[in-house]
């Protein structure tokens, strides 16, 4: 069985524009590219939605709520990243990515139903 080289088609020429044209002809690259674009748009929209929701719910304290929320987001990434590879091997990377995006979409949809911020101190009104 021949060795698989995913980008072997790019090695045939040194012309950069010709390489880009060859790359765009591959369906797998197009699927990956557009899936990434959609994911980035979703991430951007969820960040904007979170900021607007924080402003609507707590007004002047929105910066504090948003800061706490984004700090929690970073802590989750830091603590769960070491196990992500193992989970992806067991469940399948594709299933894990789809499942996490569906979960994130459900959370963002839940923003529409939020009526108050439950927090200690004077952050919530």
Q: What is the pLDDT of residue 14?
A: 59
**Which tens digits make up the pLDDT trace of 70-84?**
898 899 889 988 888
Assign 21 a pLDDT band (cuts: 50, 70, 90). confident
Of the CA atoms within 13 Å of residue 80, those in its CB half-sphere come to 10
For residues 62 and 51, give the distance between their C-alpha atoms in angstroms, rounded to a whole number.
Answer: 7
Instruction: Judge whether residue 88 has pLDDT over 90.
Output: no
């Amino acid at each position: 069985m021949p060795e698989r080289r995913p980008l072997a088609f790019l090695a045939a020429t040194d012309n950069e524009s010709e390489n880009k044209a060859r790359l765009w002809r591959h369906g797998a690259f197009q699927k990956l590219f557009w899936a990434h674009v959609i994911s980035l748009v979703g991430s951007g929209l969820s960040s904007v939605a979170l900021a607007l929701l924080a402003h609507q719910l707590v007004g002047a304290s929105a910066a504090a709520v948003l800061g706490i929320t984004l700090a929690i987001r970073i802590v989750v990434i830091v603590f769960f990243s070491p196990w992500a590879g193992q989970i992806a091997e067991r469940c399948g990377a594709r299933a894990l990515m789809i499942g996490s995006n569906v979960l994130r979409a459900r959370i963002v949809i839940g923003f529409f139903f939020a009526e108050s911020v439950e927090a200690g101190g004077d952050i919530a009104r």
